[in-house]
Amino acid sequence: MFVTKAVARREFLEARGARPRAEGLLASAQQVLPDVYRVALYVSMGPEPQTGALIDWLLATHHEVLLPILYADNDLGWGVAPGAADLVPGRLGLSEPPIDLGSDAIATADLVICPAVAVARDGVRLGRGGGSYDRAIARVRPGTPVWAAVYDTEIVDTLPHDPHDRPVDAALTPNHLIALRPSVDD
């Protein structure tokens, strides 16, 4: 059991940084992707579960991909992925689409796959601490599945959380999709 979110975040990020290589999400997503058209995703960085091949596959199979644009206040806007070569540099070294559709564009997604540092079996998602994805998930259309991208070792029984934290429905790992129980605080 972790005492605080900061302690949990530090431990998970240290373990992730020690991984010999980052693994991709493509194979597991291909097995479980529901019949959807527009997928909100993110461009992975460093040791995060890799999304590049998944984005390329989604675009090649005629899906539309929304990617985040990080605003100065840490909120997220969204733009349609034009292809990896056409992304532009964004804040904090992120790669972003060149056209911003606004923060409410995530409500048009049929599936949201968001980054996480860890998730608990009750759906609590631990992010990097800026609140960007909690705000974005709050705008998701009711009934739209929200999956957190993590490694198998980052799925735990419990995590500390705050009232503003938004739960996720499942954990997508490089190996499979794990359904999570809704949080009792929902």
For the annotated binding site, the residues are: 43, 48, 125-133
d(CA 101, CA 151) in angstroms, rounded, equals 30
Known binding residues for substrate: 43, 48
Say if residues 25 and 174 touch (Cβ distance below 8 Å).
yes
Known binding residues for ATP: 125-133
